[in-house]
Structure 1
Amino acid sequence: MCTRERKPREGSLTLDERVEIAVGIRQGESLAEIGRRIGRPRQTVSAEVKRHGGVKGYHPLRAQDAADRAARRPRRGWIQTRPEVWDQVVACLKQWWSPEQIAVFLRHEHPDDPYWWVSHESIYHAVYVQAKGTLKAELVSCLRRGRTRRKPRATVSERQSRQVIPDMVMISERPPEVDDRAIPGHWEGDLIVGKGNRTFVATLVERRSRFGLLVKIDSKDAAHVAERIAAKVSTLPEHLVKSLTWDQGREMTNHVDLAVAADIDVYFCDPRSPWQRGSNENWNGLVRQYLPKGTDLSLHSQADLDKMAISLNQRPRKTLGWKTPAEVFNKDVTLAA
């Protein structure tokens, strides 16, 4: 019987292994002995033999041909075979939960029922590949990035050269206690840009708790930015305002005024190094669900921004052991009090 050559799926039995199984059967070896000889679990060999004729009828070429046909046969996805799970996933996506949050939630809710277990990669695949039409468009828009196709995080484009900000203190001079996130009160910040590169919102994230704030900004004027950020952080408990790390954007030219007004140390990242403000970059991605790129950010009042921040701070985070940023931040407030 002629078999069509194909590249086997990773982990699947090869034709050579099937021939070895047939040889072992003829020589009277047990299935466990065959498994040890070819480096496969006994259960794998047993299932293979049972599926393709049993001990008396097993033939490696027929087994390979059947495996090839099965690999080419369209299979129903889990969204068809487990509709209740898919319905729950869709409901969570529409609340802007991430696929990873949903996967962990389902396991916590159904710890003893694998029917409800689904990986975050399977959820991404279902959204981008299996969902169709308007439902697909709606679900893709609910994902943090809102891309029509899933792709790896893009390389950060080269920014235009900037004038050096006077009196910068670089991140290399930041105290070691900031890096290990053991002590609260150290923040990261950035400006996100809206329509026509003329509307802005400042984002602030506390490194230990991942608790975030949004600040309405009317212009990119450095004095204005410093004033608004100082006003916002001055509403926080004093022990939770120790340092702020920013990139080298010109909006932070008046960082000395900010440091004096808010009694906070300001540090600057190296050029083109957004990973040095990783928590803030992650927060910006979450914020874009509420403030999409290209929209007019000036339409949102400070009260609107505060509501968005509250919603985001109440989402469970994997990095916090699935606690919410609000829980961790409020605990730090209480402990100090």
Structure 2
Amino acid sequence: MCLATNINCRTPAEQIAGWLKRTYPDDAELQVSHETIYRTLFVQSRGALKRELTEHLRTKRRIRRPGGRNYRRTDGRGQLVDVVHISQRPAEAADRAVPGHWEGDLILGKGMSAIGTLVERSTRFLLLIHLERIKSEHVVGELTRHVQTLPDQLRRSVTWDQGKEMALHANFTIDTGIQVYFCDPKSPWQRGTNENTNGLLRQYFPKRTDLKPYSQADLAAIAAELNGRPRKTLEFMTPSEKFAEAVAATR
């Protein structure tokens, strides 16, 4: 970008973004936020900038941390900024043609206790994530740790609602290479696979249940039980069987 605009390559991203807005006020396609510039650089480097790029940053940081007014701490979950809308999600995710596209959400219980849920759209395979708290740092950290156990070919995208627990979604994308797409507000049908699975999970976790006592081992056992149920939509195969097929295809 700096070469195309004759801007010095040491110019801070925020100044580049401002210059583009002033120079092309009527062309949104030629404008970009400074957060997007930084996120693109870090994502392309899979989590950490190369040494030669780092030298051009004023802070010399190799890991990107959202800051300033765009990341406000209110209830500890932050604010959503620079979201990528579900309308930009690849067609292969929408039609379930390719495994590796996931839908995620939180199940909330008594006293702000919560469990993270991730469902793969093609196979309906479920991952349950034990959460000690719902601050974005913790939720994104645990989500990252779990998806990093998956084969690369089954880590294509995650679709989430407008929950503030994903305020640090850019960090998740940087650390995993997985793009997060966000639904419209109050539109649970846009991640219907996850919504239906959460309904099944309420058999195990009725509303107002304290979810804190459930360990990760407890949750893994419950997920295994649901993953072992034959599904009509899978021609009466189980999610575990379909997911095993998908994993085998990556080898």
TM-score (norm 1): 0.51
Distance 1:235 1:288 in 2: 26
For residues 142 and 246 of structure 2, the distance between their equivalents in structure 1, rounded to whole angstroms, comes to 24
Contact between 2:103 and 2:119, CA under 8 Å: does it hold in 1?
Answer: yes
Q: Is the counterpart of residue 187 in structure 1 residue 102 in structure 2? A: yes
Structure 2: which 5+ residue stretches go unaligned? 1-76
Residue number in structure 2 paired with 1:268: 182
2:78 and 2:165 in contact (8 A); partners too: no
Q: Which residue of 2 aligns with 1:288?
A: 202
- 1:304 and 2:218 are equivalent in the alignment: yes
Where does residue 171 of structure 2 map in the other structure?
257
Deviation, 1:336, is 1.4
Tell whether 2:83 aligns with 1:168: yes
1:215 paired residue number: 129
C-alpha deviation, 1:164, in angstroms: 5.8
Taking the aligned partners of 2:239 and 2:123, their CA distance within structure 1 comes to 5
Q: What secondary structure sits across from 2:204 in the alignment?
A: coil
2:157 is equivalent to residue 232 of structure 1: no
- 2:222 match: secondary structure: helix
CA distance in 2, matches of 1:318, 1:163: 40
Name the larger-Rg structure. 1
- Cα contact 2:78–2:136 (8 A) shared by 1: no
Establish whether residue 245 from structure 1 lines up as the match of residue 159 from structure 2.
yes
Counting only pairs closer than 5 Å after superposition, residues 28-67 of structure 1 correspond to structure 2 as: none
The answer as to 2:231 corresponding to 1:317 is: yes
- Residues 246 and 277, structure 1, Cα contact 8 Å, conserved in 2: yes
Moved over 4 A (4+): none
**SS of residue in 2 equivalent to 1:298:** coil
Q: Is the 8 A contact 1:199 1:296 kept in 2?
A: yes
Kindly tell me the number of residue pairs found equivalent between the two proteins: 175
**SS of residue matched to 1:232:** helix
Could you tell me the TM-score, scaled by structure 2's length?
Answer: 0.68
Q: Work out whether residues 188 and 205 of structure 1, in 8 Å CA contact, stay in contact via their aligned partners in 2.
A: yes
Which residue identity does 2:155 align to in structure 1?
Answer: V
Per-residue deviation, residues 277-319 of structure 1 (Å, max 9, x unmatched) = 0000011011111122111100000011001000000001111
Aligned 8 A contact 1:231 1:262 in 2:
no
CA distance in 2, matches of 1:219, 1:164: 17
- 2:97 is paired with a residue of what secondary structure? coil
**2: CA distance, partners of 1:252 / 1:306:** 23
- SS for the counterpart of 2:236 is coil
Residue identity matched to 1:283: T
Percentage of pairs with the same residue: 54
Bigger RCO of structures 1 and 2 (CA < 8 A, at least 6 apart): 2
Q: Which residue identity is paired with 1:274?
A: P
> Which residue does 1:177 correspond to in 2?
92
Partner of residue 250, structure 2 = 336
Partner Cα separation in structure 2 for residue 163 and residue 248 of structure 1: 12
Deviations 1:191-249 (A, max 9, x none): 000113x1000000000000000001111100111000000011111110110000001
1:163: Cα distance to partner?
Answer: 8.4
Contact 2:227 2:240 in 1 (8 A): yes
